[in-house]
Amino acid sequence: MSFGPARSLEQLFATRSSIKWRRYPADVLPVFVAEMDFDVEPAILDRVAETLRHSDTGYLDSAGPLAPAFASFAAREWGWEVDPGTVHLATDVTVGVVEALRLDLPEVGGRVVLTPPVYPPFFEMVDEADAVAVTVPLLEDEDWSLDLAGIERAFAEGADALLLCNPQNPTGRCHSRSVLEALAALAARYDVFVVSDEVHAPLAHPGAVFTPFAPIARAAGARSVTVTSASKAWNLAGLKCAVVVPADDASAQLLTALPEELAARTSILGLHANVAALSCVSWRDDLLGLLVSNVRLLEAELAEHAPAVRVVRPDAGYLVWLDFRDAGLGDDPARVLIEQGRVALNSGLAFGEPGRGFARINLACNPSTVVEAVRRIAATVAAARERAVLAG
C-alpha cells in the first residue's frame, strides 16, 4: 500500500501516548524525538495482529525468520552478502551496541572513540559498557566528514573501539566509500573494534549512496559488527527488536558469546514487524519522496522567514541539523525555542560540544507542520533580535 499523509496534530495528541506527544503541553509543537507522525504500514500491522491472534506472544531464542529477511534486504539494497546464520537479536539498537562493546572491551576502562556531534545515547552507551569516551569531532568545514587524522591519533594512543554512526545522526551524512575504506584500514592496522549503528540506512535519499561498513571492514581485515533495525525507517521503535551482524569471522565468533537472555528480551511482535517491514519497500520509497520534499520546504521557508538559520542538508533520514549560531539564540537555541516559541527541537548540546549553537528538527510530518515550525522559529529569532536592538 502507498504511503499516506500523517494525521492532524489534534488527532495525534488525542491518540498517541509516546514521548513525542506527552512530554510537553499541547501548545508546544513537537518536532524533536525520532518518531514519525505517519501511520504504520498496513502490512506490518496485519503481521503483528496475526501474531497476536495466534497468541504467539512467547519468548525468542534466535533471529528466526528475521535473519533471512534481513540478509535478503541487505543484498537487494546494498549488495551486502550476509550469512543468516550469523545474525543475532537485540532488544533495540542501543542494547545491541552496548552488548557488542562489552564482548570486546576490557572489563573496566576501555576507550571508545566517538565522533560528535553524534546521537546523544552514544555517550550513555559507552558509560554503560564501563568504558571512557574519546571524542574526535567531525570536520564541519569538510561537510561533516570523519576526521581520519584525529581518529588515527586516538587509535595510536590506545583506543579499543570506535562507535560509528552511518548514516550519521544528526547531520544525516552518508559517509563516503573512500572515507569508510580509510577508516577500515586504520581499524585493521591498530586492531580497533568498530561497532556501526546503521539504523537510518534504509532512508538514504534518492541520489545519495549509503555504503554499509561491514563489507569494507571484511575486505580490509578489520573487526566490526553492525547493529540495525527497521525501527527508524518504518516507525517501529516501541516494538523493540534489532539485529547484530558481524562483518568478519572473528567478530562472528565473538557474537556467539552474547548473553542468551538478549534474544529472550527482544519482542516477538517486534521481530514479526521487522520481517514484514523489510518487504514494504514501496511504502518506504513513498516516504522518502515526502521527506526530501519536506527538506526542500524547510530550506525555502527558513530562507524566506529566518535566513540566519542554516540547514545542513541530509543525505539520509528525516532528522535535520540546524545551525542557529548567527540567529541570536545563544548556545542552546532549543531551550529558547521551546520557552518562547513553543516549538520543541532537540538541543544541540546533547550531541556533544560541537552541537553548541545547533538544534535538530524532525521532518517526518505533514508539510503544514514544517511550515508552522518555521513560523515559530522565525518569530523567536525576530523577537531575540528586537531585544538585542533595544538593549543595544
Please, which residues have CB within 8 angstroms of residue 317's CB and are 6 or more apart in sequence? Answer: 167, 169, 172, 200, 203, 232, 291
In a domain, 4, yes or no: no
221 shares its domain with 263: yes
- Considering the domain architecture, whether residues 28 and 54 belong to the same structural domain is answered as no
Clarify whether residues 367 and 244 are in a common domain. no
Residue 310: phi and psi, rounded to 5, are: -105, 140
Residue 29 falls inside a structural domain: yes
3-state secondary structure of 231: coil
Question: pLDDT tens for residues 377-388?
Answer: 999 999 999 988
51 and 73 together in one domain: yes
Mean pLDDT, residues 25-41: 96
Residue 3 belongs to some domain of the structure: no
Does residue 345 lie in a domain region?
Answer: yes
Report the candidate in 90, 72, 89 with the shortest Cα–Cα distance to residue 81: 72
Please tell me whether the peptide bond between 121 and the residue prior to it is cis, using omega within 30 degrees of 0.
Answer: no
Q: Is the pLDDT of residue 221 over 90?
A: yes
The model's confidence at residue 156, banded by pLDDT at 50, 70 and 90, is very high
Instruction: Give the integer Cα–Cα distance in Å for 279 and 47.
Output: 12
H helix or E strand, kind and range, residue 312: strand 310-312
| Average pLDDT rounded to a whole number, residues 33-62 | 97
pLDDT in tens, 187-204: 999 999 999 999 999 999
Going by pLDDT thresholds of 50, 70 and 90, the confidence category of residue 1 is very low
- Average per-residue pLDDT in the chain? 97
Q: What is the number of structural domains in the chain?
A: 2
Sheet containing strand 346-347, edge to edge, reads 310-312, 319-323, 358-362, 346-347
Is 299 inside a domain boundary? yes
pLDDT for 3 beyond 80: no
Kindly state the average pLDDT of the residues 252-280. 97
**Does residue 6 or residue 180 have the better pLDDT?**
180
What is the pLDDT averaged over residues 314-325?
98
pLDDT digits (tens, 9 = 90+) for 289-312: 999 999 999 999 999 999 999 999
Q: Which residues pair with 332 in a beta bridge?
A: none
Q: CB atoms < 10 A from the CB of 117, how many?
A: 28
pTM of the model: 0.97
- pLDDT over 90 at 358, yes or no: yes
166/258 same-domain check? yes
Which residues pair with residue 165 across a beta bridge? 197
Domain final residue, candidates 222, 250, 277: 277
Distance CA 78, CA 65 (A): 20
For residues 19 and 74, membership in a common domain is answered with no
Mean pLDDT of 116-134: 98
Domain-embedded: residue 2? no
Q: Among 277, 305, 322, where does a domain finish?
A: 277
Mean pLDDT for the stretch of residues 207-228: 98
- C-alpha distances (whole Å) from 379 to each of 67, 69, 257, 328, 342 are 49, 47, 54, 12, 10
Look at residue 48 and tell me whether its pLDDT is greater than 50.
Answer: yes
Q: Of 284, 264, 329, 245, which is closest to residue 44 (Cα–Cα)?
A: 284
Note whether 90 and 176 are same-domain residues: yes
CATH number, domain of 143, equals 3.40.640.10
Statement to judge: residues 193 and 70 lie in one domain: yes
The residues, any chain, with a CB within 8 Å of residue 261's CB and separated by 6 or more, are: none
Domain C-terminal end among 255, 277, 299: 277
- 286's enclosing H/E stretch is helix 281-305
Q: Could you tell me if residue 154 is inside a domain?
A: yes
CATH number for the domain including 347?
3.90.1150.10
Same domain, 337 and 357: yes
From CA 299, how far away is CA 310, in angstroms rounded?
8
Q: String of b and e for 159-173 (b: at least 16 CB within 10 Å)?
A: bbbbbbbbbbbbbbb
User: Same structural domain for residues 291 and 367?
Assistant: yes
* Domain that residue 203 falls in: 43-277
Are 238 and 317 contained in the same domain?
Answer: no
DSSP type of residue 339: I
Residues 358 and 220 in one domain: no
What is the DSSP code string of 197-217?
E-TTGGGBPTT-----HHHHH
pLDDT at 391: 84
- Residue 93's H or E segment, with its range, is helix 93-104
What number is the average pLDDT over the span 337-346? 98
**Nearest Cα residue to 246 out of 267, 270, 217:** 217
pLDDT in tens, 226-254: 999 999 999 999 999 999 999 999 999 99
